[in-house]
Protein backbone atom coordinates (compact mmCIF):
# COMPACT_ATOMS: atom_id res chain seq x y z
CA UNK A 1 0.00 0.00 0.00
CA UNK A 2 1.58 3.31 -0.96
CA UNK A 3 2.51 5.12 2.23
CA UNK A 4 1.88 8.63 0.93
CA UNK A 5 -1.50 8.74 -0.83
CA UNK A 6 -1.54 10.22 -4.30
CA UNK A 7 -3.81 13.15 -5.04
CA UNK A 8 -7.08 12.93 -6.93
CA UNK A 9 -6.58 15.02 -10.01
CA UNK A 10 -7.66 15.63 -13.56
CA UNK A 11 -5.53 14.64 -16.55
CA UNK A 12 -2.32 16.59 -16.38
CA UNK A 13 -1.58 15.34 -12.91
CA UNK A 14 0.13 16.85 -9.91
CA UNK A 15 3.81 16.79 -8.99
CA UNK A 16 4.72 14.21 -6.39
CA UNK A 17 4.34 15.56 -2.85
CA UNK A 18 7.39 16.79 -0.96
CA UNK A 19 7.26 13.66 1.15
CA UNK A 20 8.18 10.94 -1.37
CA UNK A 21 5.52 8.51 -2.49
CA UNK A 22 6.81 5.05 -1.66
CA UNK A 23 5.76 1.49 -2.11
CA UNK A 24 4.19 -0.49 0.74
CA UNK A 25 7.57 -1.54 2.17
CA UNK A 26 9.07 1.95 1.92
CA UNK A 27 12.19 0.66 0.15
CA UNK A 28 11.23 2.26 -3.20
CA UNK A 29 10.63 6.00 -3.55
CA UNK A 30 8.81 6.63 -6.82
CA UNK A 31 10.54 9.07 -9.15
CA UNK A 32 7.55 9.99 -11.31
CA UNK A 33 7.24 13.57 -12.49
CA UNK A 34 3.49 13.45 -11.89
CA UNK A 35 0.96 11.28 -10.07
CA UNK A 36 -2.55 10.84 -11.47
CA UNK A 37 -5.63 9.35 -9.81
CA UNK A 38 -8.21 9.28 -12.60
CA UNK A 39 -11.77 8.54 -11.60
CA UNK A 40 -13.01 7.53 -15.06
CA UNK A 41 -11.63 5.37 -17.82
CA UNK A 42 -11.92 8.32 -20.22
CA UNK A 43 -9.63 10.37 -17.98
CA UNK A 44 -7.18 7.47 -17.89
CA UNK A 45 -7.25 7.20 -21.68
CA UNK A 46 -6.45 10.91 -22.00
CA UNK A 47 -3.54 10.60 -19.59
CA UNK A 48 -2.04 7.64 -21.41
CA UNK A 49 -2.52 9.16 -24.87
CA UNK A 50 -0.77 12.36 -23.77
CA UNK A 51 2.22 10.79 -22.02
CA UNK A 52 5.55 9.49 -23.26
CA UNK A 53 5.92 7.12 -20.32
CA UNK A 54 3.26 5.71 -17.99
CA UNK A 55 3.30 3.08 -15.27
CA UNK A 56 0.25 1.85 -13.39
CA UNK A 57 0.20 1.66 -9.60
CA UNK A 58 -2.09 -0.69 -7.70
CA UNK A 59 -1.70 -1.26 -3.97
CA UNK A 60 2.05 -0.63 -4.12
CA UNK A 61 2.97 -4.09 -2.89
CA UNK A 62 5.89 -4.71 -5.26
CA UNK A 63 9.27 -4.66 -3.55
CA UNK A 64 11.27 -3.63 -6.61
CA UNK A 65 11.01 -0.85 -9.22
CA UNK A 66 8.42 -2.61 -11.37
CA UNK A 67 5.89 0.23 -10.94
CA UNK A 68 8.46 3.04 -11.00
CA UNK A 69 8.83 5.61 -13.77
CA UNK A 70 10.31 9.04 -14.41
CA UNK A 71 7.19 9.90 -16.41
CA UNK A 72 3.57 9.61 -15.29
CA UNK A 73 2.47 7.33 -12.47
CA UNK A 74 -1.21 6.39 -12.66
CA UNK A 75 -3.03 5.00 -9.65
CA UNK A 76 -6.00 2.85 -10.66
CA UNK A 77 -7.45 2.90 -7.14
CA UNK A 78 -10.00 5.63 -7.90
CA UNK A 79 -11.39 4.03 -11.06
CA UNK A 80 -14.98 2.73 -10.84
CA UNK A 81 -15.15 0.02 -8.20
CA UNK A 82 -18.26 -1.80 -9.41
CA UNK A 83 -18.56 -5.47 -8.49
CA UNK A 84 -20.69 -7.45 -10.93
CA UNK A 85 -21.40 -11.06 -10.00
CA UNK A 86 -22.88 -13.23 -12.73
CA UNK A 87 -24.18 -16.28 -10.90
CA UNK A 88 -25.15 -18.12 -14.07
CA UNK A 89 -21.75 -17.67 -15.70
CA UNK A 90 -19.96 -18.09 -12.34
CA UNK A 91 -17.89 -14.95 -12.80
CA UNK A 92 -17.24 -11.66 -11.08
CA UNK A 93 -16.16 -8.51 -12.92
CA UNK A 94 -14.34 -5.92 -10.82
CA UNK A 95 -12.39 -2.70 -11.16
CA UNK A 96 -8.69 -3.42 -11.51
CA UNK A 97 -7.71 -1.29 -8.52
CA UNK A 98 -9.97 -3.11 -6.06
CA UNK A 99 -8.27 -5.01 -3.30
CA UNK A 100 -9.43 -8.58 -2.83
CA UNK A 101 -10.93 -7.80 0.57
CA UNK A 102 -13.18 -5.20 -1.07
CA UNK A 103 -15.13 -7.68 -3.20
CA UNK A 104 -14.72 -11.22 -1.88
CA UNK A 105 -17.54 -10.70 0.63
CA UNK A 106 -19.97 -9.85 -2.17
CA UNK A 107 -18.86 -12.93 -4.09
CA UNK A 108 -19.47 -15.12 -1.04
CA UNK A 109 -22.87 -13.55 -0.44
CA UNK A 110 -23.83 -14.67 -3.95
CA UNK A 111 -22.96 -18.26 -3.02
CA UNK A 112 -19.71 -18.27 -5.00
CA UNK A 113 -15.96 -18.13 -4.38
CA UNK A 114 -12.56 -17.70 -5.93
CA UNK A 115 -10.56 -20.89 -6.19
CA UNK A 116 -7.84 -19.41 -3.98
CA UNK A 117 -6.48 -16.26 -2.39
CA UNK A 118 -3.05 -14.97 -1.52
CA UNK A 119 -1.83 -14.59 2.04
CA UNK A 120 -2.72 -10.87 1.97
CA UNK A 121 -6.26 -9.70 1.08
CA UNK A 122 -4.89 -6.14 0.97
CA UNK A 123 -3.43 -6.35 -2.55
CA UNK A 124 -5.09 -5.15 -5.75
CA UNK A 125 -6.51 -7.68 -8.15
CA UNK A 126 -4.76 -6.31 -11.25
CA UNK A 127 -1.37 -5.95 -9.58
CA UNK A 128 -1.53 -9.44 -8.11
CA UNK A 129 -2.44 -11.01 -11.45
CA UNK A 130 0.12 -8.96 -13.41
CA UNK A 131 2.98 -10.38 -11.33
CA UNK A 132 1.86 -13.99 -10.95
CA UNK A 133 1.01 -13.70 -7.25
CA UNK A 134 -0.54 -16.83 -5.76
CA UNK A 135 -1.89 -18.68 -2.76
CA UNK A 136 -1.09 -22.31 -2.06
CA UNK A 137 -2.34 -25.79 -2.89
CA UNK A 138 -1.11 -28.53 -5.18
CA UNK A 139 -4.26 -28.26 -7.29
CA UNK A 140 -4.54 -24.48 -7.19
CA UNK A 141 -3.18 -22.21 -9.89
CA UNK A 142 -2.01 -18.67 -9.23
CA UNK A 143 -4.57 -15.89 -8.83
CA UNK A 144 -4.06 -14.98 -12.49
CA UNK A 145 -5.39 -18.36 -13.63
CA UNK A 146 -8.89 -17.21 -12.60
CA UNK A 147 -8.82 -14.35 -15.13
CA UNK A 148 -11.37 -14.98 -17.88
CA UNK A 149 -11.22 -11.53 -19.47
CA UNK A 150 -9.68 -8.11 -19.00
CA UNK A 151 -10.09 -4.56 -20.28
CA UNK A 152 -7.05 -2.39 -20.79
CA UNK A 153 -6.12 1.06 -22.02
CA UNK A 154 -3.56 0.70 -24.80
CA UNK A 155 -0.53 2.88 -25.52
CA UNK A 156 -2.44 5.18 -27.88
CA UNK A 157 -5.26 5.70 -25.36
CA UNK A 158 -7.52 3.13 -27.00
CA UNK A 159 -9.50 0.40 -25.28
CA UNK A 160 -9.05 -3.32 -25.75
CA UNK A 161 -10.99 -6.28 -24.40
CA UNK A 162 -9.22 -9.64 -24.23
CA UNK A 163 -10.84 -12.97 -23.38
CA UNK A 164 -9.45 -16.39 -22.67
CA UNK A 165 -8.89 -18.01 -26.05
CA UNK A 166 -7.93 -14.76 -27.80
CA UNK A 167 -4.57 -14.75 -29.54
CA UNK A 168 -2.80 -12.43 -27.08
CA UNK A 169 -4.52 -13.48 -23.88
CA UNK A 170 -1.88 -15.79 -22.35
CA UNK A 171 0.73 -13.06 -22.78
CA UNK A 172 -1.38 -10.19 -21.47
CA UNK A 173 -2.47 -11.49 -18.05
CA UNK A 174 0.88 -11.81 -16.25
CA UNK A 175 2.31 -8.89 -18.22
CA UNK A 176 4.08 -6.67 -15.65
CA UNK A 177 2.05 -3.66 -16.79
CA UNK A 178 3.72 -3.78 -20.20
CA UNK A 179 0.71 -4.34 -22.46
CA UNK A 180 -1.50 -1.54 -21.11
CA UNK A 181 -3.25 -0.24 -18.01
CA UNK A 182 -5.81 -2.81 -16.93
CA UNK A 183 -9.13 -1.22 -15.89
CA UNK A 184 -11.43 -4.22 -15.30
CA UNK A 185 -11.05 -7.96 -14.88
CA UNK A 186 -13.50 -10.84 -15.07
CA UNK A 187 -12.62 -13.76 -12.80
CA UNK A 188 -13.89 -17.35 -12.80
CA UNK A 189 -15.73 -18.49 -9.68
CA UNK A 190 -16.63 -21.78 -8.04
CA UNK A 191 -19.39 -22.63 -5.54
CA UNK A 192 -18.80 -21.08 -2.11
CA UNK A 193 -17.09 -23.23 0.51
CA UNK A 194 -16.02 -23.00 4.13
CA UNK A 195 -12.50 -23.59 5.39
CA UNK A 196 -11.05 -24.81 8.69
CA UNK A 197 -7.52 -23.70 9.51
CA UNK A 198 -5.22 -25.73 11.73
CA UNK A 199 -1.65 -24.94 12.79
CA UNK A 200 0.98 -27.47 13.82
CA UNK A 201 4.15 -26.52 15.69
CA UNK A 202 7.50 -28.25 15.75
CA UNK A 203 7.59 -30.33 12.56
CA UNK A 204 11.11 -31.83 12.62
CA UNK A 205 13.23 -30.86 9.65
CA UNK A 206 14.13 -34.46 8.88
CA UNK A 207 10.43 -35.39 8.73
CA UNK A 208 9.71 -32.39 6.52
CA UNK A 209 12.51 -33.42 4.18
CA UNK A 210 11.48 -37.09 4.13
CA UNK A 211 7.78 -36.33 3.62
CA UNK A 212 8.17 -33.05 1.72
CA UNK A 213 5.50 -33.61 -0.92
CA UNK A 214 3.18 -35.30 1.56
CA UNK A 215 3.31 -32.29 3.88
CA UNK A 216 2.66 -29.81 1.08
CA UNK A 217 -0.30 -31.82 -0.23
CA UNK A 218 -1.84 -32.45 3.20
CA UNK A 219 -4.72 -29.96 2.80
CA UNK A 220 -6.46 -27.76 0.26
CA UNK A 221 -3.89 -25.04 1.02
CA UNK A 222 -0.67 -25.59 2.95
CA UNK A 223 2.03 -23.21 4.17
CA UNK A 224 5.23 -24.32 5.86
CA UNK A 225 6.99 -21.59 7.87
CA UNK A 226 10.65 -21.78 8.81
CA UNK A 227 13.44 -19.44 9.87
CA UNK A 228 16.08 -21.64 8.18
CA UNK A 229 17.91 -22.25 11.42
CA UNK A 230 19.68 -25.56 11.78
CA UNK A 231 18.19 -26.42 15.16
CA UNK A 232 14.68 -25.20 14.37
CA UNK A 233 11.46 -27.04 13.61
CA UNK A 234 8.88 -25.89 11.10
CA UNK A 235 5.36 -24.59 11.61
CA UNK A 236 2.65 -25.87 9.26
CA UNK A 237 -0.62 -24.10 8.44
CA UNK A 238 -3.28 -26.42 7.00
CA UNK A 239 -6.34 -24.85 5.39
CA UNK A 240 -8.85 -27.63 4.89
CA UNK A 241 -12.13 -27.29 3.02
CA UNK A 242 -14.92 -28.02 5.48
CA UNK A 243 -16.40 -31.45 4.91
CA UNK A 244 -13.12 -33.00 3.79
CA UNK A 245 -12.15 -35.43 6.53
CA UNK A 246 -8.71 -36.02 5.01
CA UNK A 247 -6.60 -34.97 2.07
CA UNK A 248 -3.80 -37.23 0.89
CA UNK A 249 -1.32 -37.62 3.70
CA UNK A 250 -2.96 -34.97 5.91
CA UNK A 251 -4.29 -35.48 9.40
CA UNK A 252 -7.56 -37.36 9.80
CA UNK A 253 -9.94 -34.65 10.94
CA UNK A 254 -12.92 -35.08 13.22
CA UNK A 255 -15.94 -32.83 13.00
CA UNK A 256 -14.42 -30.13 15.15
CA UNK A 257 -10.76 -30.94 15.74
CA UNK A 258 -7.60 -32.38 14.27
CA UNK A 259 -5.29 -34.91 15.93
CA UNK A 260 -2.94 -33.62 18.61
CA UNK A 261 0.13 -35.05 16.83
CA UNK A 262 0.97 -35.33 13.14
CA UNK A 263 4.34 -36.35 11.67
CA UNK A 264 6.00 -35.45 14.96
CA UNK A 265 4.44 -31.98 15.12
CA UNK A 266 2.04 -30.78 17.81
CA UNK A 267 -1.34 -29.17 17.25
CA UNK A 268 -0.99 -25.51 18.25
CA UNK A 269 -2.48 -24.73 21.63
CA UNK A 270 -3.49 -21.20 20.60
CA UNK A 271 -3.42 -18.75 17.70
CA UNK A 272 -0.13 -18.30 15.86
CA UNK A 273 1.54 -15.61 13.75
CA UNK A 274 4.04 -16.66 11.06
CA UNK A 275 6.65 -14.15 12.27
CA UNK A 276 7.93 -15.08 15.73
CA UNK A 277 7.02 -12.51 18.35
CA UNK A 278 4.21 -10.85 16.36
CA UNK A 279 0.70 -10.65 17.79
CA UNK A 280 -1.54 -13.31 16.18
CA UNK A 281 -4.59 -11.04 16.49
CA UNK A 282 -3.76 -9.86 12.96
CA UNK A 283 -4.12 -13.39 11.58
CA UNK A 284 -7.19 -15.20 10.29
CA UNK A 285 -9.00 -17.57 12.72
CA UNK A 286 -7.32 -20.90 13.44
CA UNK A 287 -8.01 -23.90 15.72
CA UNK A 288 -10.36 -25.42 13.15
CA UNK A 289 -13.09 -22.81 13.56
CA UNK A 290 -14.98 -23.03 10.24
CA UNK A 291 -15.55 -19.89 8.24
CA UNK A 292 -16.01 -18.59 4.71
CA UNK A 293 -13.18 -19.16 2.25
CA UNK A 294 -12.29 -15.45 2.07
CA UNK A 295 -11.86 -15.28 5.85
CA UNK A 296 -9.53 -18.31 6.09
CA UNK A 297 -7.45 -18.67 2.90
CA UNK A 298 -5.48 -15.45 3.55
CA UNK A 299 -3.10 -15.55 6.51
CA UNK A 300 -3.96 -12.00 7.58
CA UNK A 301 -7.11 -10.05 8.35
CA UNK A 302 -7.77 -7.07 6.06
CA UNK A 303 -8.30 -4.63 8.93
CA UNK A 304 -4.71 -5.01 10.18
CA UNK A 305 -1.28 -4.29 8.72
CA UNK A 306 -0.30 -7.63 7.20
CA UNK A 307 2.76 -9.70 8.05
CA UNK A 308 5.28 -7.57 9.97
CA UNK A 309 5.02 -4.41 7.88
CA UNK A 310 8.70 -3.49 8.16
CA UNK A 311 10.16 -6.00 5.77
CA UNK A 312 11.49 -6.89 2.34
CA UNK A 313 10.38 -9.94 0.37
CA UNK A 314 11.68 -12.37 -2.24
CA UNK A 315 10.24 -15.57 -3.64
CA UNK A 316 11.65 -18.29 -5.88
CA UNK A 317 9.82 -21.01 -7.85
CA UNK A 318 11.13 -24.45 -8.79
CA UNK A 319 9.41 -27.46 -10.31
CA UNK A 320 7.47 -29.40 -7.72
CA UNK A 321 9.54 -32.54 -8.23
CA UNK A 322 12.68 -30.54 -7.44
CA UNK A 323 11.25 -29.24 -4.17
CA UNK A 324 13.09 -31.62 -1.80
CA UNK A 325 16.46 -31.08 -3.50
CA UNK A 326 15.90 -27.33 -3.53
CA UNK A 327 15.08 -27.48 0.19
CA UNK A 328 18.39 -29.27 0.78
CA UNK A 329 20.26 -26.67 -1.26
CA UNK A 330 18.81 -23.85 0.83
CA UNK A 331 19.49 -25.71 4.07
CA UNK A 332 23.18 -25.83 3.09
CA UNK A 333 23.32 -22.01 3.05
CA UNK A 334 21.06 -21.47 6.06
CA UNK A 335 23.93 -19.70 7.82
CA UNK A 336 23.67 -16.99 5.14
CA UNK A 337 19.88 -16.84 5.13
CA UNK A 338 18.95 -16.91 8.83
CA UNK A 339 20.74 -13.73 10.02
CA UNK A 340 18.74 -11.47 7.65
CA UNK A 341 15.46 -13.41 7.68
CA UNK A 342 12.27 -12.82 9.65
CA UNK A 343 10.52 -15.94 8.35
CA UNK A 344 10.43 -18.17 5.28
CA UNK A 345 7.38 -19.83 3.75
CA UNK A 346 7.07 -22.84 1.44
CA UNK A 347 3.97 -23.29 -0.74
CA UNK A 348 2.84 -25.13 -3.88
CA UNK A 349 1.23 -23.74 -7.05
CA UNK A 350 -0.31 -25.66 -9.95
CA UNK A 351 1.26 -25.06 -13.35
CA UNK A 352 -0.37 -22.79 -15.94
CA UNK A 353 -0.04 -21.53 -19.52
CA UNK A 354 0.46 -17.79 -18.84
CA UNK A 355 3.70 -16.81 -20.56
CA UNK A 356 5.44 -14.92 -17.75
CA UNK A 357 3.91 -16.77 -14.83
CA UNK A 358 6.63 -18.18 -12.56
CA UNK A 359 4.54 -21.39 -12.59
CA UNK A 360 4.41 -21.47 -16.41
CA UNK A 361 4.45 -25.03 -17.72
CA UNK A 362 5.17 -26.77 -14.44
CA UNK A 363 3.63 -27.52 -11.07
CA UNK A 364 5.78 -25.55 -8.68
CA UNK A 365 7.08 -25.15 -5.16
CA UNK A 366 7.73 -21.56 -4.08
CA UNK A 367 10.26 -20.62 -1.41
CA UNK A 368 9.30 -17.25 0.06
CA UNK A 369 11.54 -15.08 2.22
CA UNK A 370 10.41 -12.23 4.47
CA UNK A 371 13.66 -10.37 5.08
CA UNK A 372 14.67 -7.71 7.57
CA UNK A 373 14.24 -4.18 6.12
CA UNK A 374 17.92 -3.75 5.17
CA UNK A 375 18.53 -3.82 1.42
CA UNK A 376 22.31 -3.72 1.71
CA UNK A 377 22.36 -6.72 4.02
CA UNK A 378 19.78 -8.71 2.05
CA UNK A 379 21.06 -8.18 -1.51
CA UNK A 380 24.17 -10.43 -1.30
CA UNK A 381 22.04 -13.17 0.25
CA UNK A 382 19.71 -13.03 -2.77
CA UNK A 383 22.67 -13.93 -4.94
CA UNK A 384 23.53 -16.86 -2.69
CA UNK A 385 19.94 -18.13 -2.78
CA UNK A 386 19.77 -17.81 -6.56
CA UNK A 387 23.10 -19.62 -6.98
CA UNK A 388 21.96 -22.44 -4.70
CA UNK A 389 18.71 -22.86 -6.64
CA UNK A 390 20.17 -22.33 -10.13
CA UNK A 391 20.38 -26.08 -10.92
CA UNK A 392 16.59 -26.27 -10.65
CA UNK A 393 15.72 -23.60 -13.22
CA UNK A 394 14.60 -21.25 -10.46
CA UNK A 395 12.28 -18.38 -11.41
CA UNK A 396 11.93 -15.32 -9.15
CA UNK A 397 8.64 -13.60 -8.36
CA UNK A 398 8.46 -10.56 -10.66
CA UNK A 399 7.20 -8.22 -7.94
CA UNK A 400 9.77 -9.02 -5.27
CA UNK A 401 13.53 -8.62 -4.83
CA UNK A 402 15.85 -10.67 -7.05
CA UNK A 403 19.18 -10.29 -8.83
CA UNK A 404 18.73 -12.84 -11.65
CA UNK A 405 20.35 -11.59 -14.86
CA UNK A 406 18.30 -10.82 -17.99
CA UNK A 407 20.14 -13.49 -19.93
CA UNK A 408 19.34 -16.12 -17.35
CA UNK A 409 15.72 -15.01 -17.16
CA UNK A 410 15.38 -15.46 -20.90
CA UNK A 411 16.46 -19.09 -20.54
CA UNK A 412 13.78 -19.77 -17.93
CA UNK A 413 10.67 -18.95 -20.00
CA UNK A 414 9.76 -20.71 -23.23
CA UNK A 415 7.57 -17.81 -24.39
CA UNK A 416 9.96 -15.00 -23.43
CA UNK A 417 10.55 -13.99 -27.05
CA UNK A 418 6.83 -14.16 -27.78
CA UNK A 419 6.20 -11.75 -24.92
CA UNK A 420 8.78 -9.33 -26.31
CA UNK A 421 7.11 -9.44 -29.70
CA UNK A 422 3.69 -8.94 -28.11
CA UNK A 423 4.75 -5.82 -26.21
CA UNK A 424 6.52 -4.42 -29.26
CA UNK A 425 3.34 -4.81 -31.28
CA UNK A 426 1.00 -3.42 -28.60
CA UNK A 427 3.36 -0.69 -27.40
CA UNK A 428 5.67 0.18 -30.31
CA UNK A 429 6.86 3.47 -28.77
CA UNK A 430 7.55 2.06 -25.31
CA UNK A 431 4.95 4.09 -23.43
CA UNK A 432 4.64 1.42 -20.72
CA UNK A 433 8.33 0.64 -20.42
CA UNK A 434 10.58 1.61 -17.52
CA UNK A 435 14.12 0.76 -16.47
CA UNK A 436 13.28 -2.66 -15.07
CA UNK A 437 11.15 -3.69 -18.05
CA UNK A 438 13.76 -2.40 -20.50
CA UNK A 439 16.53 -4.26 -18.72
CA UNK A 440 14.75 -7.59 -18.90
CA UNK A 441 13.01 -7.10 -22.26
CA UNK A 442 15.36 -4.96 -24.36
CA UNK A 443 14.54 -3.94 -27.91
User: Which burial class, exposed, middle or buried, applies to 442 when counting CB atoms under 10 A from its CB (0-12, 13-18, 19+)?
Assistant: exposed
- What is the pLDDT averaged over residues 287-307? 91
Provide the pLDDT for residue 93. Answer: 98
User: What's CA 383's distance to the chain center, in Å?
Assistant: 21
Residue among 372, 235, 245, 254 nearest 314 (CA): 372
Share of the chain above pLDDT 70, in %: 93
Provide the pLDDT for residue 145. Answer: 98
Residue ranges with strand state E in 204-270: 221-226, 234-241, 261-262, 265-267
Q: Which of 3-17, 258-272, 428-442 has the lowest mean pLDDT?
A: 3-17
The answer to whether the beta carbons of residues 356 and 207 sit under 8 Å apart is no
CA distances from 232 to 225, 266, 375 (A): 11, 14, 25
Residue among 132, 147, 120 nearest 402 (CA): 132
**pLDDT tens per residue, range 160-205:** 999 999 999 999 999 999 999 999 999 999 999 999 999 999 999 9
Backbone Cα Rg of the chain: 21
Q: In the chain, what are the domains?
A: 83-192 (3.30.465.10), 194-397 (3.30.70.2520)
Averaged confidence pLDDT in the chain: 92
**pLDDT tens per residue, range 229-252:** 977 899 999 999 987 755 556 776
Residue 309, pLDDT > 50, answer yes
Provide the pLDDT for residue 10. Answer: 35
CA distances from 26 to 58, 116, 300, 310, 396 (A): 15, 28, 20, 8, 21
Q: At what angle do helices 323-331 and 375-389 cross, to 10 degrees?
A: 130
**pLDDT tens per residue, range 311-350:** 999 999 999 999 999 999 999 999 999 999 999 999 999 9
383-410 b/e (C-beta count within 10 Å ≥ 16 → b): eebbebbeebebbbbbbbbbbbeeeebe
**pLDDT tens per residue, range 83-96:** 999 999 999 999 99
Amino acid sequence: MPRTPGRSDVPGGQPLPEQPLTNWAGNIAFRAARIHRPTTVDDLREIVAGSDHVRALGSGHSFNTLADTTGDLVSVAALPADVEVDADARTVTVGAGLRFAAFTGAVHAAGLALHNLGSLPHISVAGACATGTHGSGTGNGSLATAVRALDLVTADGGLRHLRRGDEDFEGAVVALGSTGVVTRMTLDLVPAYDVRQWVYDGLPYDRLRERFDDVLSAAYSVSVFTRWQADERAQVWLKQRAGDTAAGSGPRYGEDRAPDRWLGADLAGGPRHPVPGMDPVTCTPQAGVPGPWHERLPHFRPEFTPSNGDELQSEYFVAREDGPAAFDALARISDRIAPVLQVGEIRTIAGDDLWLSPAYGRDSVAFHFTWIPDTDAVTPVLGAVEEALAPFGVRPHWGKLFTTSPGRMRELYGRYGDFERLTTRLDPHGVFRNELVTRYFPR
